[in-house]
Amino acid sequence: MDGTKEMGGLRNVSSVCSISEMDDFDLSRLLNKPKLNIERQRSFDERSLSELSIGLARGLDTYETTYSPGGRSGFGTPASSTRNSFEPHPMVADAWEALRRSTVYFRGQPVGTIAAYDHASEEVLNYDQVFVRDFVPSALAFLMNGEPDIVKHFLLKTLYLQGWEKRVDRFKLGDGVMPASFKVLHDPIRKTDSLVADFGESAIGRVAPVDSGFWWIILLRAYTKSTGDLSLAETPECQKGMRLILTLCLSEGFDTFPTLLCADGCSMIDRRMGIYGYPIEIQALFFMALRSASSMLKHDEEGKEFIERIVKRLHALSYHMRSYFWLDFQQLNDIYRYKTEEYSHTAVNKFNVIPDSIPDWVFDFMPTRGGYFIGNVSPARMDFRWFALGNCIAILSSLATHEQAMAIMDLIEARWEELVGEMPLKIAYPAIESHEWRIVTGCDPKNTRWSYHNGGSWPVLLWLLTAACIKTGRPQIARKAIDLAETRLLKDSWPEYYDGKIGRYIGKQARKYQTWSIAGYLVAKMMLEDPSHLGMISLEEDRQMKPMLKRSSSWTC
Ligand code: GLC
């Protein structure tokens, strides 16, 4: 009923809307679908007003006006599947039900979703907590469905937790650190709710989550873009929260690189996996968070100072990443022929990478067309592994130039069997085995070859792949990946990850009803149905950060 009514209303506005949307992304063209089908229910007047307020109020992302107003849903109905003419897949309703079941309440307000709702599993560990990174796809699903309240409450709750004093033994952590996860404790007798949070002091390995603060900023922008509500980001509390996070990562020290030095296990890959140093996942999120923050920080005295520092850092960071992390056939061939032990400013092989350290697999893996940002670059060490999240975020944040973004998609297509296989998407490729596994993971039985973080396949990554596909104009790749996921995910009860070279087996210790597997699927579906949602999680290329023309030369800028 609702759907029919909405469709009727939509027809009246669609022709007007499509003209205004042509200016930015003509995304409907990418989908080969008539624009009529992807319109939403808000009136044109409301839309343009909100767009104007976003665009003009403080120049929030001047380059993009793609606006995803979301709808209302209220009664547990996925608005996205009722308000357009696509046949909703039967899995969508199940996914919404499972997602809603995972909602966590604090004093009656929804504040997040638990990591996994797996009753069959005897070992709960910390999967009954709200993880900041895990909540991101849930949040996007709710925003896309016109339910921003839970996202707002989550942003405020985590901001409040940031204010806690954080200690590991006798050592105090930086003020800006955001929690990896939090839990709501219900006292049934006193009828009170209280919060406990983990900033790394309880986490296995005792590592603070570097990604949490970045995701928080990125989500604040997504909320702002999606709702058109600038007032949250503009509160003194949110402004301060952003500044505290930025203080942690913009401080000057002994660094010679603009990238962020990290401990192993500080991100989604939260166990020892040889990602210490300058992991691509963190660098890409760092870049995206800096750009997001600069669009939301007020131009008052304090804000201005941070914006200036951000601009400088982005300039150096994009240069460094695009030059030294980028690998394609040509670059690989150049490194293969590198001379070593070069001293002074004329050095071509600046980090003294020894060509013998290039692993054999990368020569076969590298297609003639295509490329990617490698896992890590530091003195005499290049980690050539492919990491999905970092590369997708590089596309979404426009850390990747247009050419690089296209090349990443070319690589995914050329290496489909390896990177997608039977279940999207490999978190990292390839797996590390035998002696190397012993040394790199410290004999971690959870991270054996082709399992978990070590070459496992994570359905949550589907939303990132889909967003990257839409941004690069290749929705058919996303559709293929979603089709694959649909053959298994529900039947297998939404596993956390799959194992094996092509991801055929449910992961050894994978949770079932893993919330971000569920939410990731929903976000992927909704974005493909209505590509204008992409605007909340994507940033257009900043014309001031000119793409590099040359690589691997000895000049410095
Ligand atoms: C695992 C994952 C981590 C995730 C957590 C909760 O520890 O490695 O990325 O946040 O589970 O799902």
27-37 pLDDT tens trace: 444 444 333 33
- The Cα 384–Cα 362 span in angstroms is 7
Instruction: Give distance in angstroms: CA of 444 to centre of ligand 1.
Output: 15
Share of the chain above pLDDT 90, in %: 77
Residue nearest to atom 2 of ligand 1 (CA): 268
Mean pLDDT of 355-373: 98
Asked if pLDDT for residue 52 goes beyond 80, the answer is: no
Sort strands 181-187 and 130-131 into parallel, antiparallel or unpaired.
antiparallel
Q: Residue 118 — very low, low, confident or very high, per pLDDT cuts 50/70/90?
A: confident
Asked if pLDDT for residue 545 goes beyond 90, the answer is: no
Task: State residue 342 phi and psi, 5-degree precision.
Answer: -85, 135
* pTM as predicted: 0.85
Determine the residue of 215, 268, 282 to mutate for testing ligand 1's pocket, defined as the one with the most ligand atoms within 8 A of the Cβ atom. Answer: 268
Pocket lining: 133 vs ligand 1, CB cutoff 6 Å: yes
pLDDT at 551: 47
- The Cα 274–Cα 252 span in angstroms is 25
pLDDT at 204: 83
Instruction: Give distance in angstroms: CA of 270 to centre of ligand 1.
Output: 7
User: Is residue 230 within 8 Å of 224, Cβ to Cβ?
Assistant: yes
Q: Which helix (H) or strand (E) holds 376?
A: strand 376-378
Pocket lining: 203 vs ligand 1, CB cutoff 6 Å: no
Angle between helices 280-296 and 236-250 (to 10 degrees): 140
Instruction: Give distance in angstroms: CA of 123 to centre of ligand 1.
Output: 14
User: Is residue 472 within 8 Å of 456, Cβ to Cβ?
Assistant: no
Q: Domains plus CATH for the chain? A: 105-536 (1.50.10.10)
Atom of ligand 1 nearest to the CA of 516: 12
- The Cα 275–Cα 269 span in angstroms is 8
Instruction: Give distance in angstroms: CA of 218 to centre of ligand 1.
Output: 19
Sort strands 498-499 and 505-506 into parallel, antiparallel or unpaired.
antiparallel
pLDDT at 79: 52
Asked if pLDDT for residue 125 goes beyond 90, the answer is: no
pLDDT at 552: 43
pLDDT at 8: 30
CB-neighbour burial class of residue 265 (10 A; exposed 0-12, middle 13-18, buried 19+): buried
Instruction: Give residue 132's identity as a one-letter amino acid code.
Output: V
Asked if pLDDT for residue 154 goes beyond 60, the answer is: yes
Pocket lining: 518 vs ligand 1, CB cutoff 6 Å: no
Instruction: Give distance in angstroms: CA of 180 to centre of ligand 1.
Output: 9
Question: Of 544 and 208, which is predicted with more confidence?
Answer: 208
Atom of ligand 1 nearest to the CA of 129: 6
- The Cα 49–Cα 316 span in angstroms is 36
pLDDT in tens, 8-26: 323 232 222 222 233 333 3
pLDDT at 188: 93
Q: Residue 542 — very low, low, confident or very high, per pLDDT cuts 50/70/90?
A: confident
Atom of ligand 1 nearest to the CA of 452: 8
pLDDT at 363: 98
Mean pLDDT of 511-540: 97
Instruction: Give distance in angstroms: CA of 36 to centre of ligand 1.
Output: 39
Atom of ligand 1 nearest to the CA of 271: 8
Mean pLDDT of 282-296: 98
pLDDT in tens, 307-360: 999 999 999 999 999 999 999 999 999 999 999 999 889 999 999 999 999 999
Instruction: Give distance in angstroms: CA of 370 to centre of ligand 1.
Output: 30
Residue corresponding to tokens 């209302």: 72
Determine the residue of 178, 183, 210, 270 to mutate for testing ligand 1's pocket, defined as the one with the most ligand atoms within 8 A of the Cβ atom. Answer: 270
User: Is residue 339 within 8 Å of 375, Cβ to Cβ?
Assistant: no
Provide the 3-class DSSP secondary structure of residue 379.
Answer: coil
User: Is residue 414 within 8 Å of 386, Cβ to Cβ?
Assistant: no
DSSP output for 313-364 = HHHHHHHHIIIIIEEEHHHHHHHHT---S--STT-SSTT---GGGS-HHHHH
Mean pLDDT of 509-526: 98
Atom of ligand 1 nearest to the CA of 453: 8
Pocket lining: 270 vs ligand 1, CB cutoff 6 Å: yes
pLDDT at 144: 98
pLDDT at 17: 28
Asked if pLDDT for residue 122 goes beyond 80, the answer is: no
Mean pLDDT of 216-230: 98
Closest of 56, 48, 46, 61 to residue 19, by C-alpha: 48
Pocket lining: 115 vs ligand 1, CB cutoff 6 Å: yes
Pocket lining: 268 vs ligand 1, CB cutoff 6 Å: yes
Task: State residue 420 phi and psi, 5-degree precision.
Answer: -115, -50
Pocket lining: 322 vs ligand 1, CB cutoff 6 Å: no
Asked if pLDDT for residue 223 goes beyond 90, the answer is: yes
Q: Residue 127 — very low, low, confident or very high, per pLDDT cuts 50/70/90?
A: confident
Question: Of 342 and 55, which is predicted with more confidence?
Answer: 342
- The Cα 452–Cα 427 span in angstroms is 8
Pocket lining: 410 vs ligand 1, CB cutoff 6 Å: no
pLDDT in tens, 388-443: 999 999 999 999 999 999 999 999 999 999 999 999 999 999 999 999 999 999 99
pLDDT at 274: 97
Atom of ligand 1 nearest to the CA of 180: 10
Question: Of 365 and 78, which is predicted with more confidence?
Answer: 365
Spatial neighbors of 325 by CB under 8 A, at least 6 apart, are: 280, 283, 373, 374, 377
Instruction: Give distance in angstroms: CA of 268 to centre of ligand 1.
Output: 6
Asked if pLDDT for residue 81 goes beyond 90, the answer is: no
Could you tell me where the beta strands, DSSP code E, fall in 158-302?
Answer: 167-168, 171-172, 181-187, 192-198
* Structure tokens given for 259: 């990238």
Pocket lining: 114 vs ligand 1, CB cutoff 6 Å: no
Asked if pLDDT for residue 496 goes beyond 70, the answer is: yes
Instruction: Give distance in angstroms: CA of 183 to centre of ligand 1.
Output: 15
Residue nearest to atom 4 of ligand 1 (CA): 268
Residue nearest to atom 9 of ligand 1 (CA): 268
Instruction: Give distance in angstroms: CA of 96 to centre of ligand 1.
Output: 21
pLDDT at 61: 40
The runs of H, that is alpha helices, within 58-124 are 79-82, 90-101
